[in-house]
Structures are given as structure tokens and as C-alpha cells.
């Protein structure tokens, strides 16, 4: 949900307040991080303290989702907004495919984000701490890692990146309060297909899902896109729940 909020933050900053787009991109992602951390403190932290099972988290996150989506609708209205300024530019031709400058911008920023994220999670010390807490919070705290701090960081980073993704996508398409649901679902599907907890897996899963969806609607109508995505998810859940690159023991956790 922070993803949609990020887009709206950027909209308020750059269009309503007239702040420089690049500055407002960073400000909006900082706001997204703050929002993510606030959600964690207010809702998830008490749930963790009472040792709630996964399903309670799931329902609570549905609650957060519904709440924020409708708060945004209340504040900004249900109409479609856009971050785009200036005329639509014609794209370049590369190998008979057309790509617009904005798409190139989105691609390059996502690549940079991906590399940064990969460095944080796989190489930096904090990434080790994050993975340690994910594996075994008690074990991690014995070896001097304070799990709550690590969760705080990962929420901050995750939310900032989600906010950035929201801003990037709204450069290409439009902003509306309901844009989040699809993104969350596709995100979950892509990460399950790729393998939970693996960044190359997420990349692979995202590409795989995108390609299958769009190849699929090449043959049948575009309305079936979601059906294809969920059919792929169900096939994976049944045949290879650990994902393309995941490890076997992840079977019962999410």
C-alpha cells in the first residue's frame, strides 16, 4: 500500500506544491519509508509482541490496505491523476521494439535499485542481520542482533523502495487509489514464482510473470491477464512451492 501512497506523495510534492521532480522523488520515498515504519510500529509490533500467527498478520494487513486505499480516495478523490508533465514523446526504435525515454528512465532506476538492494541484503552486514532474524529471531538476538531494530530497518528500506516503484510506475501510467492491489498481488506472485527470500529469484519471477502474461494475451483477449497470472501462481504452488530459485525448506513459511 505504501506503493500507492508513494505515488500520491510524489504527486502532492511535485504537482501540488511545485517542488523539483528529482527532489520530490527522494522526499516522497523518505515519506514512504516513514509511513512503512509507522505501520510497523502501530500495527505489526503489537502483533509480534502477542506472538500472533501469520494469518492474523494477513488479515491485519488487509485492514491496513483497505484503510489507506480509502483514505487516499477521501483525500484525493477517485479520479485518475497523473505525474506526467509536458507532451508525450515519441519513443526510440530498438530492434523493431519501441521504447520511450520514460521507460528507459524507469528501467535504469529499477536496475540501480535492484543492485543497491542486492548489496544491502546479500553483502552488507545489515543484510546478514536481516537474514539472521528471518531465519531465527531468538538465535539472532542471542548473538547480539536486536531483532526489532533489524525489522525497523527492513521496513524502512522496503517501504522506501515500494514508494519509489509507485512513483516510477506513475510516470508511465496514471495514479489512482486502487492501483495498489494489482501491484501487491503481482509482487507476491512474482516472489513466490522466483523463490521467497531470493533477490535474483524476484527478478527472474518478475520477468517470467510479465513475459507469460503478455505472451498469453497475444493469443487471447487482454482481459484474461489476471487469470494467467493466478493460474501460473497455482501451478507453482502445487508443483514447486519453493519457487524457481528458492530452497526446499521454505515450504511452510512466507
What are the C-alpha distances in Å from 74 to residues 60, 82, 94, 99, 177? Answer: 21, 17, 43, 35, 9
* Part in contact with another protein (CB under 8 A); list of ranges 18-26, 129-137, 167-175, 223-231: 223-231
CB 245 within 8 A of CB 194: yes
* Part in contact with another protein (CB under 8 A); list of ranges 117-125, 129-137, 166-174, 184-192: 184-192
- Binder of another protein out of 17, 20, 23, 62 (CB under 8 A): 62
Nearest Cα to 209, choosing from 227, 193, 195?
193
Asked if residue 214 binds another protein (CB under 8 A), the reply is no
Asked if residue 47 binds another protein (CB under 8 A), the reply is yes
Asked if residue 238 binds another protein (CB under 8 A), the reply is yes
Judged by CB, which is closer to another protein: 26, or 224? 224
How close are the terminal C-alpha atoms of the chain, in Å? 18
Asked if residue 60 binds another protein (CB under 8 A), the reply is yes
Judged by CB, which is closer to another protein: 1, or 145? 1
Helix (H) or strand (E) holding 212: helix 199-219
Q: Which residues pair with 81 in a beta bridge?
A: 175
* 8: exposed, middle or buried (Cβ count in 10 Å: 0-12, 13-18, 19+): buried
Judged by CB, which is closer to another protein: 90, or 252? 252
How many residues make up the chain in this entry?
A: 254
- List binders of another protein among 186-205 (CB under 8 A): 188, 192
Judged by CB, which is closer to another protein: 115, or 220? 220
Tally of CA atoms within 13 A in the half-sphere of 234 that contains its CB: 6
CB 172 within 8 A of CB 105: no
Asked if residue 78 binds another protein (CB under 8 A), the reply is yes
- Binder of another protein out of 64, 113, 132, 152 (CB under 8 A): 64
* Interface residues toward another protein, by CB under 8 A: 43, 46-47, 52-56, 58-60, 62-71, 73-74, 77-78, 185, 188, 192, 221, 223-224, 226-227, 230-231, 233-234, 237-238, 241, 251-252, 254
Amino acid at each position: 500500500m505504501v506503493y500507492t501512497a508513494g505515488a500520491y506523495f510524489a504527486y502532492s510534492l511535485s504537482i501540488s506544491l511545485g517542488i523539483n521532480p528529482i527532489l520530490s522523488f527522494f522526499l516522497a520515498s523518505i515519506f514512504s519509508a516513514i509511513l512503512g515504519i509507522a505501520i510497523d510500529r502501530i500495527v505489526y509490533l503489537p502483533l509480534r509482541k502477542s506472538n500472533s500467527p501469520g494469518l492474523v498478520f494477513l488479515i491485519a494487513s488487509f485492514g491496513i490496505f483497505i484503510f489507506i486505499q480509502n483514505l487516499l480516495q477521501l483525500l484525493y478523490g477517485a479520479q485518475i491523476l497523473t505525474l506526467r508533465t509536458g507532451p508525450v514523446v515519441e519513443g526510440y526504435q530498438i530492434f523493431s521494439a519501441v521504447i520511450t525515454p520514460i521507460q528507459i528512465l524507469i528501467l535504469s532506476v529499477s536496475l540501480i535499485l535492484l543492485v543497491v538492494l542486492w548489496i544491502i541484503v546479500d553483502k552488507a552486514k545489515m543484510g546478514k542481520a536481516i537474514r539472521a532474524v528471518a531465519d531465527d529471531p531468538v538465535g539472532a538476538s542471542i548473538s547480539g542482533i536486536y531483532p526489532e531494530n533489524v525489522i525497523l530497518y527492513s521496513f524502512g528500506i522496503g517501504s522506501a523502495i515500494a514508494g519509489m516503484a509507485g512513483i516510477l510506475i506513475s510516470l508511465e501510467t496514471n495514479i489512482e487509489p486502487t492501483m495498489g492491489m494489482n501491484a501487491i498481488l503481482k509482487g507476491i506472485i512474482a516472489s513466490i514464482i522466483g523463490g521467497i527470500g531470493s533477490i535474483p529469484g524476484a527478478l527472474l519471477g518478475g520477468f517470467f510473470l510479465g513475459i507469460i502474461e503478455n505472451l498469453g494475451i497475444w493469443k487471447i483477449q487482454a482481459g484474461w491477464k489476471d487469470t494467467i497470472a493466478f493460474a501460473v501462481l497455482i501451478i507453482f504452488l502445487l508443483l514447486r512451492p519453493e519457487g524457481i530459485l528458492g530452497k526446499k525448506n521454505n515450504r511452510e513459511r512466507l
